[in-house]
Every structure is written in C-alpha cells, then in structure tokens.
Amino acid sequence: MSDPQTTTDGTDGRSSAPLVPRSVDSSGLRVTVVVVTYRAAGFIGACLESLRRQTVPHQVLIIDNASSDGTTDVLRRVAARDPERITVRRLPENLGFAGGVAAAVPEIDTPFLALLNDDAVADPDWLETLLETAEADPEAAAWTSLLELSAAPGTVNSLGTTLDRAWYGVDVDGDADVAAVGPQVRDVFGFCGGAALLRTAALRAVGGFPADFFLYYEDLDTSWRLRLAGWDIRAVPRARVMHRHAATSNRRSALFHFHNERNRLWTLLRCAPTWVFAVAVARFAVTTGSLAGKRLLRRPVPDAANFRIRLRLRVLAAVLRQVPRGWADAPGRTVPRRRRRTVFRAAVTSG
C-alpha cells in the first residue's frame, strides 16, 4: 500500500516552518532524538529535561502536531534556551505519531535516529547505552528500550513488539516484573516506537514511517519492513525509560479502536503473506456480521467501541479500499514469498 502523500524517504510532503531554526550543523554527532508531541504542555517538560541530562551529545528535533493547549509556548521557551541542540517544527495540522515521525525523517542528518515519546522520561544513560550497542551491531537496524510503566513502577510496559497467535500486535514482556528482565541484549521481532534507536539509512531504504497510519501499529509495520529487508532488531533492557502510557490518547475511544483495527489489517496487507491478510479480513467481517446479528436479536454485546457495527464497517471499508494498491506495490509484495513466510513465522513464534 503506497501513500500518494508520502515519499520514499518517509516525508508526508507538507511544508512547515521551524519555530526555532537549526543554528548549527549536526555533522559529527551520531544521533538525533525525535520527539513527536501533541497537547503535552503538562508533561513534555520532564521528557525534555531527561534528554538534557543524557550522557552523550545529540540533537533534538521536536515535531509539534499543531498543539493548542500551550505546548507550543513550552517548546519555544525550551528551544530558546538551547538553540544549538533543539529544533522545534510545528506542523499545520495533527498528523498523528506516524505522520510526525514521517515528517521528521527528511530532517535527520545523523547516522542514527532515536524516538522518545513526549510522555516518557529517559534514564541519563539511555541514549549512550543504545548507541554503544548499535555501533557494535552492524546486523541490526533498530534497538528497542525497556519502557517501565510510571503508573505501576516495577512493571514492564514494553520491551519491543511482536504478533500474538491471533495476529494482533503485542508488547514483548508487557506487564512482566522489571526485576525479572535480564540485562542481556536479545533479538525481538520489532521495536516499540515509544523509545528506540534506528539506523537512519536503513529506515529510509524501507520507505520511512507510514504516515497514513496516523497512530498505532506504525512501529510494528516499520519493524516488519526492516525484517523483510534482512535487518535484525534487538531489545536492550539496560536502556530504560519511565512511560506515562497513553497520556495523550484514550485507549477506550472510537479513535483508538478504529486506528488499531484498521492499521493491524493494513500492516498484514503490506507485509504478511497474502493468505494471512485474507484470513484476517474474513475473520473481521464474520465477527462483524455476528455482532450485527446479535444486535438484531437483542442479545447482549459488549459496549466497547470495537464492538460497534458502524466503526467496524468503517474499518472494513478503509481496508478494502487499499487492496488494489496494496496488492500491486505494498512493501511485502516485492519480497519473495519464502522470505515473507519466514519473517511471518518469526513474528508469530516470538509472540
């Protein structure tokens, strides 16, 4: 599935002006940290302070998704105090996390790009730990951090992403005890976009971030494309951040459920073997029909947004509209079938 508004380097093609222009050439630096933000005036300061305390030099590129809550003023003040390190770019409209990262990728002129959520606070050696691991690991293109839940200290939020047996994206070691996670670097299927390091050239080579996704599944989709291109992905448990999970989104909302369901199926269309996508869409359609039948018969149906017939029909329509383009030029369609099967099996097995 190609996006007519997205170029091969991941930009969404829209113009925007920096609030604070980049004042120095970042040549010589190894990494740029990208922070995508939206209506985060109450907590982005803690995120940026944690970056100020990092033990290695870096650039920071903040993408403001047209915030209207005072975030812009906070960012202007922070960037003005440190203009050689921080650039803020305000987008004309909210493009979501995926669109924000896609807009950032063309701006990056360092070998590595780090992602940090605006509601995350990184340990001082977070970036140094990731960089040291990456520079000794030429076979990998992404290194994911250990995200700990700030609402439940000692509990893992994510140590990467993968698929479960029902082909839904899940967090590696989600809800596990942080103390039980060993320090060893290990293979995972995908990185978590909340806190990760990526090889910039590899990211660009596979098409950047999928701007059309808006939010959710963009990290799993990108990880899958890196895997299809032959790259490994690692989890680095010693690189830690504290995460206010879903601070800027409501996981019970129709917005969440629409993008979660649609983007799951889009990811399968773009990356999985054809039969996997076909089965997943059929299951979704059958379940939708079953729910409609229960409602007609006045049988009880859960009240959650993902059980609402209208939302599910919108998901099906959005997915089916992409099928002609997806079959023709989705990333996975250019990869040999055997490779697609192998990568898919690796995802399901690791879940």
| Residues 207, 123 share a domain | yes
Tell whether 11 is covered by a domain.
no
Domain limits for position 94: 18-243
User: Residue 36: helix, strand or coil by DSSP?
Assistant: strand
As a whole number, the mean pLDDT across the chain is 89
309 exposure class (CB count in 10 Å sphere: 0-12, 13-18, 19+): middle
| Residues 268, 228 share a domain | no
Given this model, what pLDDT does residue 18 score?
38
Given this model, what pLDDT does residue 246 score?
64
Going by pLDDT thresholds of 50, 70 and 90, the confidence category of residue 251 is low
| Residues 309, 193 share a domain | no
Structure tokens at 238: 């010693």
Tell whether 339 is covered by a domain.
no
Stronger pLDDT, 335 or 15, i.e. the higher one: 335
| Residues 211, 63 share a domain | yes
Tell whether 6 is covered by a domain.
no
| Residues 179, 132 share a domain | yes
Measured CA to CA in angstroms, residue 58 lies from 30, 43, 53, 269 at distances of 7, 21, 11, 36
| Residues 219, 131 share a domain | yes
| Residues 152, 217 share a domain | yes
Given this model, what pLDDT does residue 192 score?
98
Tell whether 5 is covered by a domain.
no
| Residues 290, 223 share a domain | no
pTM: 0.89
Residue where a domain terminates, one of 180, 209, 243: 243
Structure tokens at 178: 């942080």
Given this model, what pLDDT does residue 16 score?
39
Beta strands in the chain (DSSP E): 18-20, 31-37, 59-64, 86-90, 112-116, 120-122, 140-149, 156-158, 161-163, 169-171, 186-187, 195-199, 232-243
| Residues 89, 38 share a domain | yes
Q: What is the CATH number of the domain that holds 186?
A: 3.90.550.60
Percentage of the chain beyond pLDDT 70 is 89
Q: Which amino acid is at 169?
A: G
Under 8 Å between Cβ of 228 and 271:
yes
Using one digit for the tens of pLDDT, what is the confidence trace for 94-131? 999 999 999 999 999 999 999 999 999 999 999 999 99
Using one digit for the tens of pLDDT, what is the confidence trace for 161-173? 999 999 999 999 9
Under 8 Å between Cβ of 39 and 9:
no
User: Residue 348: helix, strand or coil by DSSP?
Assistant: helix
| Residues 100, 188 share a domain | yes
Given this model, what pLDDT does residue 241 score?
98
Residue where a domain terminates, one of 243, 272, 297: 243
Tell whether 106 is covered by a domain.
yes
For the cut 90, the answer to whether the pLDDT of residue 334 exceeds it is: no
Given this model, what pLDDT does residue 15 score?
33
Under 8 Å between Cβ of 332 and 270:
yes
Q: Which amino acid is at 227?
A: R
Report which of 58, 68, 3, 7 is spatially closest to residue 35, judged by C-alpha positions: 58
Tell whether 22 is covered by a domain.
yes
| Residues 96, 39 share a domain | yes
Total domains present in the chain: 2
Tell whether 4 is covered by a domain.
no
Residue where a domain terminates, one of 243, 270, 289: 243
Going by pLDDT thresholds of 50, 70 and 90, the confidence category of residue 28 is confident
Task: Please enumerate in sequence order all residues whose Cβ is within 8 A of that of 79, keeping only pairs 6 or more positions apart, or say none.
Answer: 19, 20, 62, 86, 87, 88
Under 8 Å between Cβ of 61 and 89:
yes
Structure tokens at 74: 């906070």
Tell whether 290 is covered by a domain.
yes
Q: 16: which DSSP letter?
A: -
Q: What is the DSSP string of 46-77?
A: HHHHHHHT-SS--EEEEEE----SSHHHHHHH
| Residues 267, 226 share a domain | no
